[in-house]
Chains A and B, each alone.
Chain A
Amino acid sequence: MYPEDLRYTREHEWARLEDGRVRVGITQFAAERLSDVVFVELPAPGSTITHLETFGVVESVKAVSDLYAPVSGKVVEVNPALTERPELVNQDPYGAGWMLLVEPTDPAEFAGLLSAEAYRALIGQETG
């Protein structure tokens, strides 16, 4: 399930524009491939992230995956619930499993991300 109102990266992150800020998480495809998430390592609020560079790590029992920033900017908020309940990433990847809220520095970056249709095509390629 890949909501139309989100945009996506090739590395399976999603981004949602909310009043000029960008909320970030990982897609259902990524969450399913990882299977049960046990830990999420995120940057501290106030730190800077850079478009397409890693900003953290998501860990399951069988893998550790890097997280790639959909946009550059300053981290305004980090989801506090994920410390106690990393499983939210699997249960509700686009809602309660969100990871970061970012104050973006370059609006062109968000526009340059994949649409839902393009993302579906991408993962169709990966699974097909």
Chain B
Amino acid sequence: MAEGDFPLLIERSAPGRVGAAVPASDVPDVPLEDILPAAVLRRAGPPLPEVSEPDLVRHYTQLSQRNYGVDVGFYPLGSCTMKYNPKINEDAARLEGFARLHPYAPDAQAQGALRLLHDLERMLAEVAGMDAVTFQPAAGAHGELTALLMIRAYFAERREARTHVVVPDSAHGTNPASAAMCGYKVLHVPSDARGNIDVDALRRVADERVAALMLTNPNTLGLFEERITEVEEIVHGIGAQLYLDGANFNAVLGITRPGDQGFDVMHMNLHKTFSTPHGGGGPGAGPVAVKAHLAPYLPVPVVVREGDAFRWDYDRPRSIGKIRSFYGNFGVLVRAYTYLRTFGPLLRQVAEAAVLNANYLLALLRDTFDLPFDRRCMHEFVLAGTRQKREYGVSTRDMAKRLLDYGYHAPTIYFPLIVDEALMIEPTETESRETIEEFARALLAVAEECRTDPDLVRAAPHRTVVSRLDEVSAARRLDLRWPQADPPG
């Protein structure tokens, strides 16, 4: 540790300190060697830090102050839907009857939880225009994998050998990665001049070896797929399944339903659209909603209602099995349930405000940045920093880092891959007009600095606790844990 470094826990450690009280054993004292063979026991405790509770609290509290959450400030990350995380959701999730419930509690002891899951399924199915929902996937990508496994099972039963999945070139990286994990080969289709999937190119690859088209709608450019009805006809025309990556669902809640657009299956990101917190990377939840023909393949178990009682149904012979232990991220589901109850049919206002905020912010910025697709955007839009790169030699990364100095989290950069120097901005509906305008002013100021003081922008950030970090040496000389003096055990 050098001067000015923020200490690591191991650097605050001193032998003999304790940070938690351990209950004494109240059972008769039997020598440990009489219970367990000496050969299986560690010689000493694991080489963990030894810190007192006050020091532990200071450490993590100070760490939290070196972190930026949406409770701290505006977080316009395109495709992430960093909306406000309501506190009543937290209170709901912390209720002991939910938080301290063991997953193997018999059904009779889990009626409240099962009812909540049943009702949440009804609500999400209604919003999605689908027939059934599984909550087992722990994240969007997990949901994608689940959906593709179900699609594979569907075609296996029909004895149709379909080997490929089609993905637009604008797709999120999880889409082709999930397809590969499912044993599918991936076919890419480009986008057209209006930012839609190129329907002619799609037609050319659409044949009976295609199992599914994975579409995001609105797509990763923040644009609604205008030709969705043609796309649906092509995909169903070859007997394939139409899958929706629901990452951008926030734009269309209550406006249009994926089921009505012809999607057979979709995943939702509860940690995006349904306000559950991102947790610094997780946990999330990626429920998968399906039309009836795919319901038999849902992961096991599913919640069934019998009269006024609920139970887990494991008798699902055509299910794909399990994709994680137990039932999914229940704690996250409680939060989403509470959120949906807080909006009810007013949910469509979420979409209206999200789309209005995005279009307004776009209007404030469009003259200063290149706009690859000049269309009405939905809940997010993609600009390009190509003008600033060309005229002043300042990259989108540099501008993003300079925005940190203005107290903002930068938007998404370099995604989607089809736009050079991409800057993807999603304000969400939980931001006020003032915040939108202040942010626009800050980003315009950075653009101006590219002209007047490009070195300042290129060397940003300057006002954060650390300046720009060396990612190259992090990857060249891997240091993934603090040094451990002791042998392993």
Contacts and interface: CB of A to CB of B under 8 A. Distances in A.
In the complex, A touching B, CB below 8 Å? yes
Interface of A: 36, 38-39, 59-61, 86-87
B472 interface: yes
B476 interface: yes
B20 interface: no
Interface size grouping (class) on chain B: under 10
B486 interface: no
A128 to B, nearest CB: 16
Contacts of B476: 36, 38-39, 86-87
Contacts, number: 15
Nearest to B471: A61
Interface string B460-473: 00000000000110
B40 interface: no
A38 B470 CA distance: 12
Given A60-B472, A86-B476, A87-B476, 12 more contacts: A36-B472, A36-B476, A38-B472, A38-B475, A38-B476, A39-B475, A39-B476, A59-B475, A60-B475, A61-B471, A61-B472, A61-B475
A60 B471 CA distance: 10
Interface of B: 471-472, 475-476
A61 B472 CA distance: 6
B469 to A, nearest CB: 11
A87 B476 CA distance: 9
A61 B469 CA distance: 12
Contacts of B472: 36, 38, 60-61
15 contacts: A36-B472, A36-B476, A38-B472, A38-B475, A38-B476, A39-B475, A39-B476, A59-B475, A60-B472, A60-B475, A61-B471, A61-B472, A61-B475, A86-B476, A87-B476
Interface centre among A39, A60, A61 (most CB of B within 10 A): A61
Contacts of A61: 471-472, 475
| Interface core residue of B471, B475, B476 (most chain A CB under 10 Å) | B476
Nearest to A61: B471
Contacts of A38: 472, 475-476
B186 to A, nearest CB: 16
B398 to A, nearest CB: 15
- Nearest first, the 4 A-B pairs at minimum CB distance are A38-B475, A36-B472, A38-B476, A61-B471
Contacts of B475: 38-39, 59-61
Contacts of A87: 476
Contacts of B471: 61
Nearest to A62: B414
Contacts of A86: 476
Contacts of A39: 475-476
A29 B348 CA distance: 51
Nearest to B414: A62
A64 to B, nearest CB: 11
A37 B472 CA distance: 8
A38 B475 CA distance: 6
A21 B221 CA distance: 50
A35 B472 CA distance: 10
Nearest to B472: A36
Nearest to A35: B472
A36 B475 CA distance: 10
B6 to A, nearest CB: 24
Nearest to A59: B475
B468 to A, nearest CB: 13
A60 B473 CA distance: 11
A7 B472 CA distance: 30
A81 B472 CA distance: 18
